[in-house]
Structure 1
Amino acid sequence: MFRKLPGDEARNLVSTTPDTAVVFRPAVVRTPAIVTLVIWLSRLVAGLIRLVVRHPVAVAVPVAFGVIWTLYGWRLALVMAGFLPSAGLSWLLLDRASFLRLVGWPLLAFARWFWVYRRHWQPVMVVTGLGRHIRGHDYLPSLVGVECDGWADRVSVKMLNGQAVTDWADRIEHLAHGFGAPSCRVAIARAGRLVLTFPRRDPLAEPLPARPVPEVASVGPVEIGRCEDGTPLRLKVHGTHVLIAGATGAGKGSYLWSTIRGLLPAMRAGLVQVWALDPKRMELSFGRALFGARYAADPKECADLLDEAVSVMQKRADRFAGLQRSHTPTPGDPFVLVLVDEVAFLTAYQPDKHLRQRITAALATLTTQGRAVGVGIMAALQDPRKEVMNIRNLFPDKIALRLDESEQVDMVLGDGARDRGALADHISPVPELGAGVGYVRLETSPDPVRVRAAYVSDADISSMVAEFAGVGR
């Protein structure tokens, strides 16, 4: 029949009869009720403290209402309940920014924490495999807190011991759909802590008009558009090299012309020279008068212009040796920005092998030695494969616009960029929605940032030429 076996002896039991039932009943330890009560109360108090610390505004409103009800009666409480919305509306109309910062976004963060993330946390973690169910217990990453702003939720998470960032980066699409967001990005806050960014809307859905021409001559950073968080996109061009990759119609010209537009006053002041290589003869030729004699379209002319840039770089290096380690733009030694549109035609598709070798050697020399002496490269291309552009790793700052394949994202921005949320292959091909939208990965930060460059129209370029023609002579 049935036997009770203590401990682990059940696993050593060998039965010769197939109908023998083995019942294993572990030993039961009875916990005193006072211990259970103390544990429950301590968890309740800790949870209340965490709630107050993380959501002070959401807690303060009902607590204040309850205190007024208790001390002064329900009539005054109802009056205050009617007064608070009107006071909040007046505050919102008078100073929208401070109201949202102090009241609006904290209340929204509490609502999103309670109704979206806390409510769905356990099933999402278990289904995505980020949580573990071991011997009847669920081990889940901790939902530390939620912060909101005008476009996204930022969810702070404490990982389980033994988890890695790649465990989360590999599941960004699962997390996005699990919490009802269009996408998800993963960033490291500190050891063991992550910040998951879930956009609620797309602040870059509308095309941006051309930025105003700066009033003060400066070599940068140049404002060329807007970041996803609403801050201006300022691109550093002096002291670095920039690679822009994107499919046809992705908006590479917006980055080139916005950069030129931001440097026009410095060009007039003699602090910047823009040298333009335009093998397609379509993009940069529209503003050819801005570049003067430093414009080339024929492949041989492009090679000659690059060789001239190398010569300028080497002469400066000889003069600066032992005297200075960085470049300060002056009219005598201006910052030289070499713009190369469709660089792949010059480095891979050019039928003349000798020209290909000259151009590739010149670009490699400039990207490895030009920064310190004030010679920078901004190159644009469609195909980021290594056999097309084998010196792409020599560009510290990279921009990925709409790309055809997911593998190309890491080719441009570096390994792991797509796993961190740089979904350049998901950018809309519709010009009004996706032209100029891309992801920037700077030398100073491994996390890609979603941005959109302003659109510089033909009329804008014509006005630039009319006002600044001849500054590049």
Structure 2
Amino acid sequence: MFKKLPGDETRNLVTTTPDTAVVFRPAVVKTPAILTLLVFAYRFLVALVRTVWRHPVAVAIPVSLGVVWLLYDWPLAVSLLGLVVLALLGWAFTDRASFARLVGWRLLAWWRLVSVYRRHWQGVMDVSGLARRVHGRDYLPRIVRLQCDGWADRITVRMLKGQAVKDWSDRSDNLAHGFGVTSCRVTLVKGGLLLLTFPRSDPLAAPIPALPIPDEPTVGPVEIGKQENGQPLRLKVHGTHVLIAGATGAGKGSFLWNTIRGLLPAMRAGLVEVWALDPKLMELSYGRELFQGRYAADPADCADLLDEAVTMMHKRAARFAGLQRSHVPTIEDPFVLVLVDEVAFLTAYQPDKQLRHRISAALATLATQGRSVGVGVMAALQDPRKEVMSIRNLFPDKIALRLDESEQVDMVLGDGARDRGALADHISPVPELGAGVAYMRLETSPDPIRVRAAYVSDTDIRQMVTLFTKRGEAA
């Protein structure tokens, strides 16, 4: 039994027990050397078979040269190697596209895999927290496949059991800087498999001049710029509605004018009508002759024009009822695109409450009922908050240019868009670098894509007016 000591005497006690740490020594099991050799031999054979199966041509060439060297000595082998190199060079110069697709990008993928990703994979996984150590054993996500093209490296990765896509999307910056690139996109392929996209170059770094006006009339997807992978950007306007959001100077007008530019031949043929609402009296006023009287700037006139569009839509729906379910543009029933620049001025900042309700109700009606009868809405605004644009969810296709806050990205493109790589708040405010650059989320895909619209100058707009108005035809 311990006796109680009075007062503070307990702190004067001195122990004579050595302060020795307790050391636990795990049992060591010695593996026979023959088992270790068998395991390594099995792994080698599996890797060899996998390599031959995946890269038969790349394996066949060095093996053939080695056999020739053994049978006929080195001069013939070197000569054959020279012929192979010359044949590949000739192929590269005569048909660069097929050479890059079948040989060039595969060699680049192999080199990037060996020199970059496998070399730094374990370190990046450990530092970013995507690798795990359980009961003394290390678990590492596995690279399944690497593909390269002229724009980016695409790595298919098998996640660890129990990991989620969000675990990877939250660490996209770690992955990007760990492998020496500026960004990383995380996309779910299927259960357990992710696609990591690492861009090596930026085709959108320089402004894009105005695209040529199409030769043939079309209301199908119109080409308005370029995607991040270098492919043309084609925007669907017939059979959908488009919402464009961006800060001042972000380039919203580029998307509006490129759409008009792509539809000009169809407008001239009578297959398309563009009705323009321009409350700022700045953006669309340059080409008001193109709209053939369907142009409004005063809020009251804008409300009247929208009411007229709703009336036309209802009449067209009554004629189509029971006869057709989708719209085919004709001269009698053209596709009508309602363009609204700075829609927030009409729906949120308009001081006349009655006028504000009229405009909001008309836009909601067009957005909910107009697609099937050939009426589309393209609206642009700066502030994407719900209280400013209460019907933003009625727009299937959304475009986010440069935004001021990270929270606004999900307001425009939907929940989780920023986690999937839509960094609209990081777009450069410098016009030469960021004007017209945006992230687009289409109805058919939840994954945002980075794009840039071509720049349509005032001179280009005046040329459009000259070419496609009655004044221009008369001249």
Determine helix, strand or coil for the equivalent of 2:261.
helix
Match of 2:381 in 1: 381
- 1:21 and 1:289 map into 2 onto residues whose CA distance is 89
Residues 320-369 of structure 1 show CA distances to partners (whole Å, capped at 9, x for unaligned) of 22222211111111111000011111111112122111111111111111
Letter in structure 2 aligned against 1:468: F
Match of 2:223 in 1: 223
Instruction: State the 1:65 CA deviation.
Output: 3.9
Is the 1:145–1:156 contact (alpha carbons within 8 Å) kept by the matching residues of 2?
yes
Deviates more, 1:194-203 or 1:78-87: 78-87
Instruction: Answer yes or no: is 1:304 the counterpart of 2:283.
Output: no
- 1:196 and 1:60 map into 2 onto residues whose CA distance is 31
Residues 208-266 of structure 1 show CA distances to partners (whole Å, capped at 9, x for unaligned) of 22222222211111111111122211111011000011111111111111111111111
- 2:312 and 2:388 map into 1 onto residues whose CA distance is 27
- 1:420 and 1:56 map into 2 onto residues whose CA distance is 36
Instruction: State the 1:33 CA deviation.
Output: 3.4
What is the alpha-carbon root mean square deviation over aligned residues?
1.9
Instruction: State the 1:62 CA deviation.
Output: 4.0
Is the 1:113–1:145 contact (alpha carbons within 8 Å) kept by the matching residues of 2?
no
Match of 1:259 in 2: 259
- 2:98 and 2:239 map into 1 onto residues whose CA distance is 38
- 2:56 and 2:244 map into 1 onto residues whose CA distance is 45
Determine helix, strand or coil for the equivalent of 1:259.
helix
Residues 22-50 of structure 1 show CA distances to partners (whole Å, capped at 9, x for unaligned) of 45444444444333222221111222333
Instruction: State the 1:285 CA deviation.
Output: 0.6
Match of 2:463 in 1: 463
Match of 1:193 in 2: 193
Match of 2:109 in 1: 109
Instruction: State the 1:387 CA deviation.
Output: 1.5
Which blocks of at least 5 consecutive residues in structure 2 are unaligned? Answer: 1-15
- 1:362 and 1:142 map into 2 onto residues whose CA distance is 53
Percent identity between matched residues is 74
Size of the aligned set, in residue pairs, is 456
Instruction: State the 1:470 CA deviation.
Output: 4.4
Instruction: Answer yes or no: is 1:316 the counterpart of 2:325.
Output: no
Deviates more, 1:286-295 or 1:131-140: 131-140
Determine helix, strand or coil for the equivalent of 1:328.
coil
Residues 115-171 of structure 1 show CA distances to partners (whole Å, capped at 9, x for unaligned) of 110011111111111110123221011111211000100011001111111111111
What TM-score do the two structures reach when normalised by structure 2?
0.92
Match of 2:210 in 1: 210
Determine helix, strand or coil for the equivalent of 2:188.
strand
- 2:173 and 2:59 map into 1 onto residues whose CA distance is 33
- 2:130 and 2:21 map into 1 onto residues whose CA distance is 37
Determine helix, strand or coil for the equivalent of 1:349.
coil
Is the 1:57–1:107 contact (alpha carbons within 8 Å) kept by the matching residues of 2?
no
Match of 1:93 in 2: 93
Structure-to-structure mapping, 1:127-276, within 5 angstroms: 127-276=127-276
Is the 1:154–1:195 contact (alpha carbons within 8 Å) kept by the matching residues of 2?
yes
Determine helix, strand or coil for the equivalent of 2:270.
coil
- 1:64 and 1:450 map into 2 onto residues whose CA distance is 45
Is the 1:57–1:106 contact (alpha carbons within 8 Å) kept by the matching residues of 2?
no
- 1:338 and 1:470 map into 2 onto residues whose CA distance is 21
Which blocks of at least 5 consecutive residues in structure 1 are unaligned? Answer: 1-15
Letter in structure 1 aligned against 2:195: V
Match of 1:333 in 2: 333
Match of 1:448 in 2: 448
Determine helix, strand or coil for the equivalent of 2:315.
helix
- 1:57 and 1:294 map into 2 onto residues whose CA distance is 63
Is the 1:409–1:418 contact (alpha carbons within 8 Å) kept by the matching residues of 2?
yes
Instruction: State the 1:434 CA deviation.
Output: 1.4
- 1:326 and 1:364 map into 2 onto residues whose CA distance is 20
Letter in structure 1 aligned against 2:396: P
Determine helix, strand or coil for the equivalent of 1:282.
coil
